[in-house]
Structure formats: C-alpha cells, structure tokens
Amino acid sequence: MITINKLAKLSAELVYYFFMFFFTYTAIHKLANLESFRRNLIKTSLFTPATADVVSWLIIALELSIVAILFLRRAQGFVLLSISLLMFTVYISYLHAHGLYEVCGCGGIMNGLSYYTHFIINICLIFSSLFATYVYNKTDLK
C-alpha cells in the first residue's frame, strides 16, 4: 500500500530528475547556440553587447551550478532552483510589462513560447520546486 508520505517522496524524486534533465538540457542548448542566446538578451534592450556576453555565460554557469548542487545536496539545490526560477519569472514579467518580451529565447523546447504560456509554465515549475524543497527538507531523502 502506498502512503501519502511515499507518494510525496516519489513525486519529489520525479521532480528532481526532471529538473536535473531540464537545467542540463537548457544550459547545453544555450552553450551550443550561444550567439543566438546572446542576441536574444540584446534584443530586450536591457543589455549591451558587452554585458550580454557576461550575462549569457553567467546564466549558463548558474544553470550548471544548480545541477551540481542538486546532485550533491538536493534540499539546498532546490532552494537555489526555486529562487532562480522566481527571479527569471520576475524578469520575463518585467519584459512583458515594458513591451520588451517578444517570445522566449531560453532555448530548446521553451524557445518561442508566448509570455502567458511561459509564465504559466514557470509558475508550475516554481510550485514543483517548492514542493520538492519541502519534501527534501522534511524527509530522509536529503
């Protein structure tokens, strides 16, 4: 018989593997298409070409760091993941509010999404990561 606690742990594990794949995939996609990613940052008009170079590398490094931290310390990794997702959601909302959001330039399967689709997906990702954070902090899964 499966209990609520076991179901929560299983769900958190699935969320963990999803985010490991998702963040690795998006970082590699951005790295493989670095110039396109950089151009998308510049198109927002928030970044100069010089700052877009730095920001693009920092975002890739952040995504790969999150993967590494998730691998080593899941509970702490999910806290960092949740914060980064929240910051990115605020960023795309800022772009949208100021008429600077055209389509998603994240790369991969997210590329080309409308703002509203991207926003809903991000909210779901944030809640998933908060759920996993809670489960990993309250159970022996750490």
Q: What is the pLDDT of residues 57-106, one digit of tens each?
A: 999 999 999 999 999 999 899 999 999 999 999 999 999 999 988 777 77
Q: Mean pLDDT score of the chain, rounded to an integer?
A: 91
* pLDDT score recorded for residue 107: 67
Give the 3-state secondary structure percentages of the chain, helix then strand then coil, rounded to 5. Answer: 80, 0, 20
Measured between alpha carbons, how far is 50 from 54 in angstroms, rounded to an integer? 7
Closest of 31, 37, 60 to residue 49, by C-alpha? 37
